[in-house]
Structure 1
Amino acid sequence: MTKKEFREYLSKGAIVLDGATGTNLMAAGMPIGVCPEAWVMEHQDVLYDLQSAYVKAGTNIVYAPTFTGNRIKLEEYGLEDRIEEINTELVRLSKRAVDGKALVAGDMTMTGKQLFPLGDLMFEELVDVYKEQASILDHAGADLFVVETMMSLQECRAAVIAIKEVSDLPIMVTLSYNEDGRTLFGTPPETAVVVLQSLGVDAIGINCSTGPMEMVELVEKMAQYSTVPILAKPNAGLPELEDDKTVYKMTPQEFADAAVALVNAGASIVGGCCGTTPEHIKALSDAVRELPIRKPLERHRRILASERKNVEIDLDGGFIVVGERINPTGKKKLQAELKEGKLDLVRQMAMEQEENGAKILDINMGMNGIDEKEMMKSVIYEVSSTVDCPLCIDSSHVDVIEEALKIYPGRALINSISLESEKIEKLLPVAAKYGAMFILLPLSDEGLPKDAAEKHRIINTVYDKAMALGMAHEDIVVDGLVATIGANPDAAKECYETISYCKNDKKLPTICGLSNISFGLPERMYVNTAFLTMAICNGLTMAIANPSQELLMNAAFSSDMLLNRPDSDIAYIERMNMLAEKKAQYETVVVKKQPDSAAGDSTGTNTNGGNDAIFQAVLKGSKGSILDEVKKVIDAGKKPDEIINESLIPAINEVGELFNKKKYFLPQLIGSANTMKHAIDYLEPLLEKNDTGENMPTLVIATVEGDIHDIGKNLVVLMLKNYGYNVIDMGKDVPCEDIVNKAIEENAAVIGLSALMTTTMLRMKDVIELCKEKGCSSKVIIGGACITQSYADEIGADGYSKDAAECVKLVEKLLQK
């Protein structure tokens, strides 16, 4: 099926997907812990009967049972050599079951391994893993692809890029969201829509994790941004424990009634996930088949995105500053750090620019003495995990920009593409492939345009070539091309003319670099500021500037307010309040600082953070600098245990609070935890035996039998180790007996159990019962995506935590009893 045929197919009315596969296979006898794909190959009649029933119930698209058929997953069962056989045979089995009455989607999902920098799997490796499976599914005869139950936007990107490199089939992508409306990695639904539809995904949505009514608000948010159909595949409510079995109690009619709400919210493709049966799908099909469906937006919204945040570029909206600081040109200190491979100054610049009002950050690594491509990739990883601002990729080399776009977990802006042969022929297709926006620079092989007419011709030519590649009008921002007024007295007026032409005639946003206008003049800031305010009045949308220049930034905020742009008055007041608070804090520090306090301050005794460099290093995840700070205070006479108790522990506590308040997300939490671990590893050999008093309690942590997911468990282990506990990590898919025996052998104070799947959460109860049988006195705590406090109470667990930060508090509380 071609993408065009798929779009036509979806436009005819509501499309019904199948229901659950895993929970129905379990009900049919599939044991916990086996490879589902291999089991289905040996029990083909079970899948055939299930999928045939789904088609009879009204299903239009059936998912082939290739969910965990990628090489990394199959390796866990020793089946990697059968990857082609398994994926091919399962697609053929599904095709036989539907008998031409429904489409068959090749199903792909996570590998279970974390991507760098949170894990050791590189993005390029993951793309290759997905390409292998996608190529097999394509050749096996799948009609389309579905990438489902995803928690990481970056892993979604890898799968989509991989599929598009080996196949022209349509692609649907669905992510799973937590109760707070974000994925595990902090991505809101609107950001997932922006990033994935820019990559060319044909439908996007949500599956698993919740019941249908909990998805309604998320679907409504997606509908505000989506130019492609929206998909919703909820569970049959939330799981409950009944007679030692996980059950979903939502009836087919209740499920169908809720599905109507999903269609009304904007979903035009609906189905069922965990707990749903052919009866649920029959009721759903009957309920939604004749409903009017939402048409996707005809025009894109002009949006850049990081993994966690959208930034909309509105012709009549607030002025946007693109922070220019992460550029080594003229910055000797930054150049020196980059040559040493250190990125602490990069992190600091990123955070300061975001704090000072930059909405986008420009990244340029052009300098001698480094590998620009590799350094650009390192900085992309570092900055992406540090701040929420989307990035602008700035390089004179096409290959550097392509590598940056490939690994960037969002939707970036390219700086820039001109009519110069290499840029228009090589870089423009790269922008289209990775779904990037770009700055259109009105230059050609002949150099600067001679007059306004030539400048307009270049703009229109590049624009037309972008449209011919399938890009959208909203993908382009035009550079006003600021010249130096000292050399050309009409430079400002010519730039204003370009800005007005783009806004009024072409309906395109504009951007410029401010500093060129004042080159060679004294007191350049005044010229730059006057130029900026006049440019904003003429319609300038964005500028590449230094957001720490207070006069310039205040002029931008003031200009927005004078032009009565939406919410500009509130933005101006908030900025002035922020600046006043900063000034008051600075004056307090300067006035109250005691003459003899310098030595004391440098040793990092402030348990509330303040000027404590070690505290701040953990808070900001500055792994590269923390050992230098630790060594300084050790040389100043501070004891290792004092550093741990007065700087490191308070810092990680603060990180936990920020995580709980949703100001930090998983990347920042792991970054801070790894930074603290770096310091702990250095300090541990220096601790005197009596420094820490009694030995810390032993904890045994494991993912239960049959469950091969360990992202959450690994983070819990890292956090608990940072607090000094003796943690024994038993890994994933661990039998109950092994867990309990290890706890008895090690005299563990606590057993921590993790499960992601509803089909494996029952093993937690088995561990608790085995502890009673064997007289194990360890407290048992549980957690995981499908786990709730009520489930913990029901099975008799001693505690439940929803994340790693909360787990630390839970353990501390239990051990105090």
Structure 2
Amino acid sequence: MELKARLGKEVILFDGAMGTVLQQRGLKAGDVPEKLNIEKSKEIIDIHKSYLKAGAEILTTNTFGANALKMEEIDYSVEEVISAAVENARKAVVESGIEAAVALDMGPLGELLEPMGSLTFDEAYNLYQQQVLVGVEAGADLIHIETIADLYEARAAVLAAKENSNLPVFCTLTFEEDGRTFTGGSIRSMISVLEGLGVDGIGLNCSLGPEKLEPLVEEVLQYSKLPVILQANAGLPVMENGETVFKISPAEYFKPLARLYEKGLAVIGGCCGTNEEFISLIAENLKNKKVKEREVIKESLVCSPSQSVDLAGVNVVGERINPTGKAAFKDALRNGDLDYILKVAVEEVDAGANILDVNIGLPDIDEKEIMVRLIKELQGILDVPLQIDSSDPEVIEAALRYYNGTAIVNSVNGEAEVLEKTLPAVKKYGAAVIGLTMDDNGIPDTAAGRFAVAERIVNKAAEFGISRDKIIIDCLTLTASAQQEGVKETLKALNMVKEKLGVKTTLGVSNVSFGLPARPVLNRTFLSIALYQGLNLPIIDPNDNEMMAAVKAAAVLNNIDQGAADYIEYMAETENKSGSANSAKEIKNESEEKDLQSVIIKGLKSEAARLTEAVLKEKKAIEVVNEYLIPALDIVGERYEKGEIFLPQLVQSAETVKEAFAVLKAEMARTGGGDISKGKIIMATVKGDVHDIGKNIVKTVLENYGYQIIDLGKNVNIKEIVSTVKENKIKLLGLSALMTTTVKNMEKTIKKVREICPETKIMVGGAVLTADYADMIEADFYARDAKEAAEIAKQIFE
């Protein structure tokens, strides 16, 4: 099948579910579907054939969990399983006589990546690389990365696919009804990152039925230029007579697909609960039909996983992560004290920075190693996009590889060698890039000269496939004290670049006032003029309220902030803080940064230990827990529930409390002051389920509310759970299940615990669980997330 030739032109059909069809054919709860590629290959081939006869044009290999982490649970290697799976799909094609492509299926790894979990990006990459290499060798036609909830994991998988094969790559993420992934990723960030990495198809799968996913798919159709994919579930499963059942019929399933087809949907298939009947109905109505044309809204986005920024507006770039002229900053870098830098970053974001410039260039440090560490730490506590500022192409390449989002590279210039060394990495990772209007001859004196350099940068970027929406030109701010005429030329050049090249612009504003008195006045005036000339990204100190006010005012006057809502809110907040612009910054530094509760909320780990020691001089350990740690976690939990922060920030705050608890426990051991534990809770993922992402998050949060957690791990048999509950006289047991096939084992576990330990309360959670499920299997509580688990624990113990 000429997949690439048809992609985006004719509707292409995937198959439906494999796991739930195997359940219908007798797969037992807890069995590993991937084993059947070898042990019951005929069964797998028959399922593939049924989808081919129904009209599927792409067969998905039965390799959803075939990575080395999950294959530890069975007796076969990744190589054996994937090779057999591809061979089974190929046999189905040959034996049925129906032409179809074979997609190597790669699902989530089952563990959280850093900073939320312990799995490193490189480890995730290596696991996916192994799958890709085996799949390519076995003869797969394309690579389908699916059911991913973490954009960082998606990046690792896509890079592994792109760097180790020439096959087309599809990637679909799984979203909740609120338009966020489990880890807080947004649709616009997904589009920006995956398009930047060069995937061939993008979309959504799993989680919900097509009707509930419809508005989310519409957003992808609005903003992505790629062919859009949807493989929905047959609705959310329910329990009937102890069995997992999907209630949506093929006819109900098809109705929203028909509407989405009219809006440009290009690749359609099914996920959990769908079978050949679903695919047959889709094929009857849509197979080989032309994909509808659609108008795509063009944006110039940079992003973190949860927050995107459109460069077309006016956005403030924080300038303070920069060692130039800052002795304390330099010392922090040399000592590896990243927390000092993190505090600066938090201040900038609190003050209103939309993007952070990250410059750590010192000659006597390992810039690449520290840059990567710093980026990971920053992304653990903040969700604003980052601007990677370095003159070293190796540092830029490493930073872009580990950055979870779409970054800005600051910078290249008009020198041919610099462009050749840096632009390939910019293109590969889908970054935006700043071009400085200077070359081998320095900074041109005239606006025309700088424009010529800018035009050369834009044209060279085009040769590497970098579009103009990813290019930002810096016409370079000169000092009025030494080059007064040059300041005027900077502004003229900015206007020329904006009007004639149609790219975005940036300037380091404060350079203009070096060597002159009353610098803030010059800076503010220059900024206002530059904004009128079309400046998009002023690089300033966002803690300067007068500069920020000028940005907000310009947005009103240029009709960007329509209704002046943002301006009014900012000015009201500024007045409420202090009544004067300058004292607001002083109050902030004197209070927030010295408060233990604030440090926990912001996720500043080393500060938490230091401040806990300070508070212990006046408070008892249990008072520190109740007056500082628990209230801080409550605030974080409330923000998480409201969608103001997301999983990375929740986990980081929990990890920060760990640092405080370590100090408290050491103090208790020294003084013999007793136990600060609020009680024991057992956590376990039930028999047959090898996923423990959710359980581990709940464990982390509960530990930091002061509970002692006995973690039995994953794939835990009933006997072990019951005996541990009995031995420890446990008041609260937490059970987790991710797969529909293992809910039955959860029910059996609950029944046995009830028989032996009737006083124990049981809470359950996991991706496939609902409150109704919890009631049906007679659990006492359903915990949707870690915050709810903490509330349940409070009920039981307090």
How big is the shift at 1:815? 4.1
Distance in structure 2 (CA, Å) of the matches to 1:101 and 1:427: 43
Verify the 8 A CA contact 1:135 1:167 in the aligned structure 2.
Answer: yes
How big is the shift at 1:86? 2.2
Distance in structure 1 (CA, Å) of the matches to 2:594 and 2:427: 46
Deviates more, 1:371-380 or 1:339-348: 339-348
How big is the shift at 1:682? 2.2
Verify the 8 A CA contact 1:621 1:668 in the aligned structure 2.
Answer: yes
Distance in structure 1 (CA, Å) of the matches to 2:134 and 2:525: 60
Q: Deviations over 1:118-158 (max 9, x none)?
A: 22222122222212211221222111111001010001001
- 2:38 is equivalent to residue 41 of structure 1: yes
Q: Deviations over 1:604-627 (max 9, x none)?
A: xxxxx9787221221111111111
Distance in structure 2 (CA, Å) of the matches to 1:352 and 1:470: 37
Distance in structure 2 (CA, Å) of the matches to 1:541 and 1:338: 30
How big is the shift at 1:633? 2.1
- 2:644 is equivalent to residue 647 of structure 1: no
How big is the shift at 1:494? 1.0
Distance in structure 2 (CA, Å) of the matches to 1:398 and 1:755: 45
Verify the 8 A CA contact 2:34 2:81 in the aligned structure 1.
Answer: yes
| Partner residue in 1 for 2:792 | 810
Distance in structure 2 (CA, Å) of the matches to 1:786 and 1:586: 51
Question: CA distance change for structure 1 residues 264 and 753 in 2, over 3 Å: closer, same or farther?
Answer: farther
- Of 53, 56, 62, which residue of structure 1 is paired with 2:53? 56
Amino acid at match of 2:698: V
How big is the shift at 1:40? 2.1
Q: Deviations over 1:540-595 (max 9, x none)?
A: 22211111112222122222222223426222111101101211699999999xxx
3-state DSSP class of the match of 1:231?
strand
| Partner residue in 1 for 2:722 | 740
- 2:70 is equivalent to residue 89 of structure 1: no
The CA RMSD measured in Å over matched residues stands at 2.4
| Partner residue in 1 for 2:353 | 358
Deviates more, 1:683-692 or 1:493-502: 683-692
Q: Deviations over 1:495-542 (max 9, x none)?
A: 122112112111111111112222222222211211111111111222
Verify the 8 A CA contact 1:514 1:545 in the aligned structure 2.
Answer: yes
| Partner residue in 1 for 2:422 | 427
| Partner residue in 2 for 1:676 | 657
Distance in structure 2 (CA, Å) of the matches to 1:295 and 1:63: 27
Distance in structure 2 (CA, Å) of the matches to 1:508 and 1:663: 32
Matching of residues 249-264 of structure 1 within 5 Å: 249-264=247-262
Q: Deviations over 1:410-467 (max 9, x none)?
A: 0000001112243211110010111101001122223223544443332222222211
| Partner residue in 1 for 2:679 | 697
Distance in structure 2 (CA, Å) of the matches to 1:515 and 1:588: 21
3-state DSSP class of the match of 2:321?
coil
Question: CA distance change for structure 1 residues 719 and 473 in 2, over 3 Å: closer, same or farther?
Answer: same
Matching of residues 322-333 of structure 1 within 5 Å: 322-333=317-328
Amino acid at match of 1:256: F
- Of 549, 565, 570, which residue of structure 1 is paired with 2:565? 570
- 2:428 is equivalent to residue 447 of structure 1: no
Amino acid at match of 2:467: A
- Of 539, 544, 553, which residue of structure 2 is paired with 1:544? 539
Deviates more, 1:648-657 or 1:117-126: 117-126
Distance in structure 2 (CA, Å) of the matches to 1:568 and 1:312: 19
Question: CA distance change for structure 1 residues 258 and 224 in 2, over 3 Å: closer, same or farther?
Answer: closer
| Partner residue in 2 for 1:598 | none
How big is the shift at 1:726? 2.5
Q: Deviations over 1:206-227 (max 9, x none)?
A: 1111111110111111122101
- 2:135 is equivalent to residue 134 of structure 1: no
- Of 344, 355, 376, which residue of structure 2 is paired with 1:381? 376
Question: CA distance change for structure 1 residues 586 and 466 in 2, over 3 Å: closer, same or farther?
Answer: closer
Verify the 8 A CA contact 1:186 1:307 in the aligned structure 2.
Answer: yes
Verify the 8 A CA contact 1:743 1:776 in the aligned structure 2.
Answer: no
3-state DSSP class of the match of 1:759?
helix
Verify the 8 A CA contact 1:771 1:777 in the aligned structure 2.
Answer: no
3-state DSSP class of the match of 1:233?
strand
Question: CA distance change for structure 1 residues 803 and 501 in 2, over 3 Å: closer, same or farther?
Answer: same
- 2:338 is equivalent to residue 343 of structure 1: yes
Question: CA distance change for structure 1 residues 725 and 386 in 2, over 3 Å: closer, same or farther?
Answer: closer
Verify the 8 A CA contact 2:263 2:294 in the aligned structure 1.
Answer: no
Amino acid at match of 1:69: A
Verify the 8 A CA contact 2:200 2:226 in the aligned structure 1.
Answer: yes
Distance in structure 2 (CA, Å) of the matches to 1:590 and 1:498: 34
Question: CA distance change for structure 1 residues 436 and 610 in 2, over 3 Å: closer, same or farther?
Answer: closer
Matching of residues 414-563 of structure 1 within 5 Å: 414-449=409-444, 451-563=446-558
Verify the 8 A CA contact 1:213 1:262 in the aligned structure 2.
Answer: no
3-state DSSP class of the match of 2:742?
coil
| Partner residue in 2 for 1:267 | 265
Deviates more, 1:536-545 or 1:70-79: 70-79
> Percent of pairs identical after alignment?
38
Question: CA distance change for structure 1 residues 265 and 796 in 2, over 3 Å: closer, same or farther?
Answer: farther
How big is the shift at 1:239? 0.4
Question: CA distance change for structure 1 residues 562 and 245 in 2, over 3 Å: closer, same or farther?
Answer: same
Question: CA distance change for structure 1 residues 265 and 767 in 2, over 3 Å: closer, same or farther?
Answer: farther
How big is the shift at 1:202? 1.0
| Partner residue in 1 for 2:235 | 237
Verify the 8 A CA contact 1:342 1:624 in the aligned structure 2.
Answer: no
Distance in structure 1 (CA, Å) of the matches to 2:783 and 2:351: 36
Amino acid at match of 2:680: T
- 2:218 is equivalent to residue 220 of structure 1: yes
Distance in structure 1 (CA, Å) of the matches to 2:503 and 2:573: 32
3-state DSSP class of the match of 1:106?
strand
Question: CA distance change for structure 1 residues 556 and 102 in 2, over 3 Å: closer, same or farther?
Answer: same
Amino acid at match of 2:68: R
- Of 546, 568, 579, which residue of structure 1 is paired with 2:574? 579
- Of 300, 303, 308, which residue of structure 2 is paired with 1:302? 300
Verify the 8 A CA contact 2:113 2:119 in the aligned structure 1.
Answer: yes
Amino acid at match of 1:26: Q
Verify the 8 A CA contact 2:114 2:120 in the aligned structure 1.
Answer: yes
3-state DSSP class of the match of 1:702?
strand
| Partner residue in 1 for 2:108 | 110
Q: TM-score, normalised by structure 2?
A: 0.95
- Of 7, 10, 20, which residue of structure 2 is paired with 1:10? 7
Verify the 8 A CA contact 2:433 2:470 in the aligned structure 1.
Answer: yes
Deviates more, 1:577-586 or 1:226-235: 577-586
| Partner residue in 1 for 2:740 | 758
Distance in structure 2 (CA, Å) of the matches to 1:10 and 1:58: 17
| Partner residue in 2 for 1:248 | 246
- 2:685 is equivalent to residue 687 of structure 1: no
Distance in structure 2 (CA, Å) of the matches to 1:693 and 1:109: 43
| Partner residue in 2 for 1:595 | none
Question: CA distance change for structure 1 residues 537 and 743 in 2, over 3 Å: closer, same or farther?
Answer: same
| Partner residue in 2 for 1:716 | 698
Distance in structure 2 (CA, Å) of the matches to 1:585 and 1:713: 48
Distance in structure 2 (CA, Å) of the matches to 1:472 and 1:175: 25
Deviates more, 1:706-715 or 1:87-96: 87-96
How big is the shift at 1:240? 0.9
Distance in structure 2 (CA, Å) of the matches to 1:691 and 1:802: 36
- Of 30, 52, 71, which residue of structure 1 is paired with 2:27? 30
| Partner residue in 2 for 1:367 | 362
- Of 621, 635, 639, which residue of structure 2 is paired with 1:658? 639
How big is the shift at 1:238? 0.9
- Of 613, 618, 631, which residue of structure 2 is paired with 1:637? 618
Question: CA distance change for structure 1 residues 478 and 299 in 2, over 3 Å: closer, same or farther?
Answer: farther
Distance in structure 1 (CA, Å) of the matches to 2:625 and 2:75: 43
Verify the 8 A CA contact 1:28 1:46 in the aligned structure 2.
Answer: no
| Partner residue in 2 for 1:628 | 610
Amino acid at match of 1:127: Y
- 2:774 is equivalent to residue 779 of structure 1: no
Amino acid at match of 1:614: L
Deviates more, 1:742-751 or 1:66-75: 66-75
Verify the 8 A CA contact 1:18 1:63 in the aligned structure 2.
Answer: yes
Count, aligned residues: 792
How big is the shift at 1:292? 5.8
Verify the 8 A CA contact 2:445 2:486 in the aligned structure 1.
Answer: no
How big is the shift at 1:265? 4.8
Distance in structure 2 (CA, Å) of the matches to 1:807 and 1:237: 26
Distance in structure 1 (CA, Å) of the matches to 2:502 and 2:677: 68
